[in-house]
Amino acid sequence: MNRQLHDQILKTFFECDPPAITAIFREFLNALTAEDTLPPVAQMAQNYETARSNPEIHLLPGNLKDARDAVFPYFWGTDSWSSPLHLENVKGPANYASLVGALACLLKNPNLCTDTYSQRSNELEVKSVTALANLLFYHTRDPWGVFTMGGTISNLYGARIGIEKALPGAMQQGLRGARLAGIVSAAAHYSNRSVAGWLGLGTANLHAIPTDAKLAMRLDLLGETLDRLYADGTRVAFVTATFGTTDASGVDDIAGIRAVIEDKAAAHGMPVPQLHVDAAVGWALSFLTAYDLTANPLDFSAELLEQVRRAQAHALGLRQADSITIDFHKMGWGHYPGSAFLVNNRSDLRYLAREVSETPYFSEADGRRDPALFTLECSRPALGPYTVMASLNAIGLSGWQLLIARSLELAQRLKDRLEAIDHCKVLNPGTTGPGVVWWVLPKGRNAKEIFARLEAGELPPEKFAGYAAEIRRLFDKRQESMDPARDARLSFTTGIGYQPHGIDLPAWKAVLFNPRTDEAIIDRLAAGIAEMV
């Protein structure tokens, strides 16, 4: 063995050299700062052919600058979504308190499977999930939870508990031919279909309940579906409610769902389904729960106070949930992955538990605290708890209230401006959240009248298809003619989740996630749409 070369590798890559590391990190920060002065650009063309044919593993050991050079072109070619013109989707810039937490985590690199691998970082996860659970469930007695690799996995945890409640022993013996089903709303995230398929439930056994015009699951149709499934001998493992639909910020009536599922389960002698809430997008409304509407310490306008009042009413329903999914990397402006799965009662985790004998190399694991005994993953990074606790405590409750309220304020401003245009129709005027979806039709068309006819069942699908084509054509026209240095970047959805008479509603879409977006950007967006032919 070449011990001299080995020692050189050891010194270069396994001994901390603060000046060398901070110099390189400073270069990345300088590049990031330079990017902030530029408008967002169209996505760079990827060179997948070269990436596959030239993986470029260097032959000889180098240094940390080689590490920088290997990744810098891709770093520069990745948009940080820091521009206030980014309104496309439920993604915003990461806050710098989160960066501090992430750096602390990466320097120690703990694995949150057991105390042995994570030590006090495991304690930090407990602290983080308890803080989040108290925020969402509002000071629940015995919460618990874990950070996961994404919202889909958090939804999977909720569904998995539901299957075990409905069919005890399924974790060991499988579904054994049992008739099981899950229920979501028609506006739910598509990840719920992935969960149903991956758990062996089958996507055909995931039933989508139509929503009302506010994108909330219709409780009457939920009751009918439960009656039909129970009468057919089917066990309902879970009902997943949505707290903030991805496109239009719709919120299900969670308390109403709780009442329906308990009533129907009792009537049919069935176990109550797991009531899981996918709050990946909308969870941050809970920051407003404790805001004093009378004292109004942050000087919110009367119009904004009404939005806060609605947000508080929505958040009350979260106390009825058995489990919740949140994505802190969305409206917490944290780093990926910042997803968490939270349970209202810690005892529910027993449905996921395994014996220590099943994890021989975690023989020291303690079921009272070591997540390895119930998590899907054996390796879990600690980025979630580090970025969450750094962000929560640096920004503070009043800071979060200002950020969330500002997002609601700008979303409402955009709705008001668009609704004042005859050839536009806002499709989610009654929702509380950062998402705005709307139609733009050619001048001369009365978009609101067309929408009313559609809801009344007076517009057959073939006739509406022509209007839908116009909505898409005008979106594409704006995309082609927009000034990337001044015009907000929008997205398009082929279906917002509300389906009057079974017809999907396509829409233009903006999400007011970026704290740097201001009234001038909103007003220019609306003015430009008003002038479209």
> How high is the pLDDT of residue 532?
81
Whether residues 23 and 149 fall in one domain: no
- Tell whether 117 and 40 lie within a shared domain: no
Rounded CA separation 281/325 (Å):
9
Q: Are residues 278 and 150 in the same domain?
A: yes
pLDDT tens sequence across 153-166: 999 999 999 999 99
Predicted local confidence at residue 365, as pLDDT = 62
Say if residue 373 is in the same domain as residue 408. Answer: no
Tell me if 95 is assigned to some domain. Answer: no
Answer whether 433's CB lies under 8 Å from 285's CB: yes
Q: Which residue has the higher pLDDT, 352 or 311?
A: 311
Examine the fold and report which residue of 368, 392, 416 is the final residue of a domain before the chain moves on.
Answer: 392
Residues 388 and 407 in one domain: no
pLDDT in tens, 217-270: 999 999 999 999 999 999 999 999 999 999 999 999 999 999 999 999 999 999
Which tops the pLDDT comparison, 273 or 351? 273
Asked whether residue 106 is assigned to any structural domain, the reply reads: no
C-alpha dihedral sign at 127, 131, 136, 141: positive
Residue 386's domain is classified under what CATH number? Answer: 3.40.640.10
Each residue's pLDDT tens digit, 411-455: 999 999 999 999 999 999 999 999 999 999 999 999 999 999 999
* pTM of the predicted model as reported, rounded to 2 decimal places: 0.93
Number of domains in the chain: 3
Alpha helices in 184-298 (DSSP H): 191-198, 219-231, 254-268
Whether residues 373 and 437 fall in one domain:
no
Q: What angle do CA 118, 122, 127 make, to 5 degrees?
A: 155
Q: Residue 496 belongs to what domain range? A: 402-530
Q: Tell me the chain's radius of gyration from C-alpha atoms.
A: 25
How much of the chain, in percent, has pLDDT values that exceed 90?
73
Phi then psi for residue 426, to 5 deg, are -75, 130
The yes-or-no verdict on residue 470 having pLDDT over 80 is yes
Instruction: Give φ, ψ of 294 to 5 degrees.
Output: -80, -50
**Strand runs (DSSP E) across 330-411, as ranges?**
339-343
**386 and 462 both lie in a single domain:** no
481, part of any domain? yes
Mean pLDDT of the chain: 92
Residues 443 and 383 in one domain: no
Classify residue 87: in a domain, yes or no. no
Report the amino acid identity of residue 404: I
pLDDT one-digit tens code per residue, 168-178: 998 889 898 89
Q: Which of 392, 411, 440 is the last residue of a domain?
A: 392
Same structural domain, 199 and 338: yes
pLDDT for the residue numbered 483:
92
Q: Where residue 510 sits, what CATH number does that domain have?
A: 3.90.1150.170
C-alpha 21, offset from chain centre: 33
Which of these, 323, 316, 429, 364, lies nearest to 113 by C-alpha position?
364
Q: What is the pLDDT of residues 206-224, one digit of tens each?
A: 999 999 999 999 999 999 9
Q: Identify whether residues 373 and 407 lie together within a single domain.
A: no
Backbone phi, then psi, for 330, in 5-degree steps?
A: -90, -100
Looking at residue 484, what DSSP letter applies? T
1-15 confidence digits (pLDDT tens): 888 888 888 888 888
Structural domain contains residue 100:
no
Residue 268: exposed, middle, or buried by beta-carbon count in 10 A (0-12, 13-18, 19+)?
A: middle
Mean of the pLDDT values across residues 326-330?
96
Q: Which residues contact 112 (CB under 8 A, 6 or more apart)?
A: 118, 121, 122, 125, 146, 147, 371, 380, 381, 382, 385
- Residue tagged 């176990």 (tokens): 271
CA 60 – CA 70 distance, rounded (Å): 14
Instruction: Report d(CA 511, CA 404) in Å as an integer.
Output: 13
What's the pLDDT tens digit per position in 403-417?
A: 999 999 999 999 999
What is the full DSSP assignment across 119-165? THHHHHHHHHHHHHHIIIIIS-SB-EEEEES-HHHHHHHHHHHHHHH
Residue that wins the pLDDT comparison between 41 and 510: 510
| Whole-angstrom distance, CA of residue 128 vs CA of residue 388 | 7
Angle at 418 between CA 458 and CA 504, to 5 degrees: 40
Q: Identify the pLDDT of residue 48.
A: 72
Last residue of a domain, one of 392, 415, 440: 392
Domain assignment of residue 93, yes or no: no
Tell whether 332 and 457 lie within a shared domain. Answer: no
Answer yes or no: is 296 within a domain: no
pLDDT at 332 exceeding the cut of 90: yes
Do 387 and 414 fall into the same domain? no
Tell me whether residue 378 is in a domain: yes
Q: Is the dihedral of CA 118, 124, 130, 136 positive or negative?
A: negative
The structure tokens 């996507």 sit at: 203
For 477-497, give one letter per residue: b (16+ CB within 10 A) or e.
ebeeebeeeebbbbbebeebb
The token pair at 308 is 């806060």
User: Would you place residue 497 in the very low, low, confident or very high pLDDT band (cuts 50, 70, 90)?
Assistant: very high
Mean pLDDT computed over 178-200:
95
Between CA 125 and CA 362 the distance in angstroms is: 19
- Per-residue pLDDT tens digits for 346-402: 888 888 876 666 666 665 666 666 776 677 888 889 999 999 999 999 999 999 999
Q: Coil, strand, or helix at residue 358?
A: helix
